[in-house]
Amino acid sequence: MSFISYSSTRGLKNLGSFSDILLEGLAPDGGLAIPSRYKFFDKNELKDLSKLSYPELASHVLKCFVDDIDIETLKRLCDSAYTPESFGSKEITPLTYLGMEENTDIFLLELSNGPTLAFKDIAMQMLGQFFEFVLEKKGSTLNILGATSGDTGSAAEYAMKDKSKISVFMLSPEGRMSSFQKAQMYSLMDEKIHNLVIPGTFDICQDLVKGVSSDINFKNKYRIGSVNSINWGRISSQIVYYFYGYFRAIEKTGNPFMSPVSFSVPSGNFGNILSGYTAKKMGLPIQNLVLATNENDVLDEFFKTGAYRVRGLSETFKTSSPSMDISKASNFERFIYDVVDNDFERVCSLWKQLNLQGNFLIDDVESIRNIKKSGIVSGSSNHQNRLETIKNVKEQYSRIIDPHTADGLFVARKNLKPEIPMICLETALPVKFAETVFESLGNIPQTPLKFIDVEKKPQKIKNIEANVESLKSFIKEEIEKNDS
């Protein structure tokens, strides 16, 4: 077996092995970590993978990126991450048939049956296992510092809460999450989980995190780590359900093995769809990856025009699919690195331009060909589109979907190809966004048993000022309390 090393999209080599990059955020040159090579599965290998249970499949797919943990250990970690107790079924991400539209079978891949009812659990549960294993080996502890607009924060906290070597400091913006999201996250009573509420927006929270992490001395002294969406451990864990969804779709349709399917992906930071794109690179027969945005359509604009133009605060809208309300897409640089044929100097200059003038344009023939080859097509929805999609899915298929999934389905319907099954990723359960579902249907979706009355539970938060120094002194105090 040859060694997989990681390097940066901006050119820095030898970032280390999987376990090394796992605990790091940005690469030292400001780029994102990428593996030195990708495994390509041929038909026979895919056939073998198709027979595996979810955790077994996860260990084989992850093994392509993790060469410093042996397969037996990796299997054990996957078994612990993906249990029926945490995800509600042995299948972990069941594939559900909705029906046929325009001669196309439409499926829902249920990614939201985990501890916090959103797809981010799939990566976070795995990350929790990886972190614990790596920290154990290093004899170290970790303090996770992050910012959330909703789903990431609770997924991270529920994944890390029983891990004795990990504390979490999670910043959230005051008054910007749904009441269910708040209740779910703030009601966790665990001494090592800190919910820090900031007056302002998600971007301000994220800037504060950057402010703290860029102080290298502080970061090292207090062992600050991150779980944000650029984490390669998250991206690689998400690749697994594309394989799983493909295999189940082939079984359910009876289509020949290796015949193509498409996926529709409600997108924000370009993490989920980057995982799908990587699965395609690894040989999974994916026709199209349908990238769906809401009114915050930075990515839709790029795939339609080649212009990537990040948005300012005044142009970042608060929508009914809040987990996709982004002004720039943090994983996008990994995709562009491929688009420009790994020319890291060009990546550097594009991002330099982005920082100076807020946009860049990709219009050379070679790059455009690569974008086409990725299979990514895009579209966007508005509030009304999502309300109508929730309503007609309920009427047609007796199934209630959340506004993010509705966004994906709305855009998927505009990109159907006859006889190529469309797998729509369900990224959250409707109960997380009950206000919008109520607006569409006039009733409230059912609350899963484990969250009944969650909104009545006491909540634990700490209000802090939006400045880096107050944040640092809070973190320092808590860690020193714990260490002594």
Ligand X SMILES: *Cc1c(COP(=O)(O)O)cnc(C)c1O
Residues tagged active-site: 120
Considering the complex, state which of residue 149 and residue 167 has its C-beta at the smaller distance from ligand X. Answer: 149
Stretch that binds ligand X, among 48-56, 266-274, 367-375, 376-384 (CB under 6 A): 266-274
Nearer to ligand X, 104 or 112 (CB): 112
Contact between 269 and ligand X (CB under 6 A)?
yes
Work out whether 271 is an interface residue with ligand X (CB under 6 A): yes
- Of 347-406, binders to ligand X (CB under 6 A) are 404
The residue among 151, 149, 164, 147 whose CA lies nearest residue 122 is 151
Q: Which range in 51-59, 176-184, 268-276, 357-365 contacts ligand X by CB under 6 A?
A: 268-276
Q: 133 vs 335, which CB is nearer to ligand X?
A: 335
Q: How far apart (Å, rounded) are the C-alpha atoms in residues 425 and 265?
A: 6
Q: Which stretch binds ligand X (CB under 6 A): 32-40, 182-190, 197-205, 269-277?
A: 269-277
Identify the CA nearest to 386 among candidates 439, 444, 443.
439
Alpha-carbon distance 173 to 201, whole Å?
5
Among positions 246, 270, 332, 410, the unique one binding ligand X when judged by CB under 6 A: 270
Among 59, 272, 278, 380, binds ligand X (CB under 6 A): 272
Among 57, 69, 81, 118, interactor with ligand X by CB under 6 A: 118
* 195 is a contact residue toward ligand X (CB under 6 A): no
Mask for 143-172, x = binds ligand X (CB under 6 A): --------x---------------------
Question: Footprint of ligand X on residues 21-80 (CB under 6 A)?
Answer: none
Residue type, 7: S
Closer to ligand X by CB, 49 or 183: give it: 183
CB of 112 to ligand X, least distance (A): 7
Quote the CA–CA distance of 397 and 193 in Å, as a whole number: 40
| 120 interacts with ligand X by CB under 6 A | yes
User: How many residues in the shown chain lie near ligand X by CB under 6 A?
Assistant: 16
Among 113, 267, 385, 440, binds ligand X (CB under 6 A): 267
First and final CA of the chain: distance in angstroms?
44
Least distance to ligand X, CB of residue 297, Å = 13
d(CA 189, CA 185): 9
What count of other Cβ atoms lies within 10 Å of the Cβ of residue 63? 18
166 forms bridges with which residues in the sheet? 142
The residue among 201 and 267 lying less far from ligand X, judged by its C-beta, is 267
Whole-angstrom distance, CA of residue 154 vs CA of residue 302: 30
Write down the least CB distance from residue 219 to ligand X, Å.
Answer: 24
Site for ligand X in 313-352 (CB under 6 A): 323-324
Give yes or no for residue 126 binding ligand X (CB under 6 A): no
Token pair belonging to 1 = 């077996």
**Which residues are registered as beta bridge partners of 286?**
261
Stretch that binds ligand X, among 98-106, 135-143, 261-269, 312-320 (CB under 6 A): 261-269
* Contact flag: residue 278 with ligand X (CB under 6 A): no
**Residues 82 and 114: beta-carbon distance below 8 Å:** no
Minimum distance of ligand X from residue 157's CB (angstroms): 14
**291 near ligand X (CB under 6 A):** no
Report whether 260 contacts 248 (CB < 8 A): no
Rule CB under 6 A: which of 414-443 touch ligand X? 427-428
Is 229 near ligand X (CB under 6 A)? yes
Secondary-structure breakdown of the chain: helix, strand, coil percentages, each rounded to the nearest 5: 50, 15, 35
Contact present, 81 and 233 (Cβ < 8 Å): no
The answer to whether 287 contacts ligand X (rule: CB under 6 A) is: no
Q: DSSP states of 32-57 as a string?
A: -EEES------HHHHHHHTTS-HHHH
**Do 180 and 450 form a contact (C-beta atoms < 8 A)?**
no
| Closer Cβ to ligand X, 19 or 152, answer by number | 152
Nearest to ligand X of 128, 150 (CB atom): 150
In a 13 Å sphere around the CA of 406, the CA atoms on its Cβ side amount to 28
Planar angle of CA 456, 153, 461, nearest 5 degrees = 50
User: Rg of the chain over CA atoms, in angstroms?
Assistant: 21
382: buried, middle or exposed (CB in 10 Å: 19+, 13-18, 0-12)? Answer: middle
Piece in contact with ligand X (CB under 6 A), picked from 56-64, 253-261, 264-272, 444-452? 264-272
> CB of 429: closest distance to ligand X in angstroms?
9
User: Closest residue (Cβ) to ligand X?
Assistant: 271
Q: Report the C-alpha gap between 64 and 232 in whole angstroms.
A: 13
Q: Single out the residue of 268, 379, 421, 430 in contact with ligand X (rule: CB under 6 A).
A: 268
From the CB of residue 117, how many other CB atoms can be counted at a distance below 10 Å? 26
Interacting residues with ligand X (CB under 6 A): 118, 120, 151, 229, 266-272, 323-324, 404, 427-428
